[in-house]
Amino acid sequence: MGKHFKEAFKKISEEKQTRILDAATAEFAAKGFPGANINRIAQKAGISIGAMYNYFGSKDDLILTIVDRAHALLEGVINEVAQAEDDIFDSIEKLLRAAQSYSKQYPELTQIYLDMTSEGLSHLSRQLSGQMETISSRLYRVLIEKAAATGQVASGVDIRVASFCLDNLIMMLQYSYASDYFKERMKIFIGPEAARDDERIIQEMMRFIRGAFRGGQ
């Protein structure tokens, strides 16, 4: 993980670092990367534009620093799940719950992640070299291989495509709490009351996923 901030940023207090990154997160999430204004971010964070450029060389570096922070958070969750000696379905349930609560707690970070996947920001996402995806795909593969060895997962299941499908479900669950479009979409699909019932969504998604891994026979 390359660092995208300058030395001067490391030297200021953690409180000030957080204030700057929080202001930037709010701006990027609301306006999108091209619409975000670095002067406005500095103003909201209560620092001068000169200080801002002392900490970050560019708008690119600022958003990449935010993405790095978000990745570190998610990596923590994934490592916790990987280290627990759980049944595969308990592990998957923990991941679903983490995706749901992370996205509800940090909708702006999820919005930024969603933006990073767009073609317009591919000059930025190229610099991430798939770190997050590599970490999560590896975790899923290990989980599924272990479970396949003990017969918890049907023998015909293609481990790599199954982990892809699993991550697709987890990502879309995250998105579903992050943008107006996806929130509205979830309501259309599962109904407005059910969409508010976090626990039910987890339980019914787990039923779907359990069936998928057990192979339908």
Query: Contact with a second copy (CB under 8 A): which of 3, 11, 31, 196?
Result: 31
Closest Cα partner for 139 from 79, 90, 99?
A: 79
> Minimum Å distance from CB 47 to a second copy?
24
Q: Does 216 bind a second copy (CB under 8 A)?
A: yes
Contact flags string 57-96 toward a second copy, x per CB under 8 A: ----------------------------------------
Which span (62-70, 80-88, 94-102, 152-160) binds a second copy, by CB under 8 A? 152-160
As a residue count, the chain comes to: 217
Which tokens go with 192? 């407005």
Query: Contact with a second copy (CB under 8 A): which of 172, 192, 196, 198?
Result: 172
C-alpha angle 15/34/98, rounded to 5°?
55
> For a second copy, which is the closer residue by CB, 10 or 138?
138
Which tokens go with 28? 């990027």
> For a second copy, which is the closer residue by CB, 105 or 168?
168
Which tokens go with 88? 């595969």
Contact flags string 108-127 toward a second copy, x per CB under 8 A: ---x--xxxxxxxxx--xx-
Which tokens go with 42? 């500095």
Cα 65 to Cα 116: distance, rounded to the nearest angstrom: 13
Query: Contact with a second copy (CB under 8 A): which of 1, 130, 196, 198?
Result: 130
Which tokens go with 117? 């996947």
Q: Does 155 bind a second copy (CB under 8 A)?
A: no
Closest Cα partner for 63 from 118, 8, 24?
A: 24
Cα 211 to Cα 206: distance, rounded to the nearest angstrom: 8
Q: Does 48 bind a second copy (CB under 8 A)?
A: no
Query: Contact with a second copy (CB under 8 A): which of 24, 29, 95, 109?
Result: 29
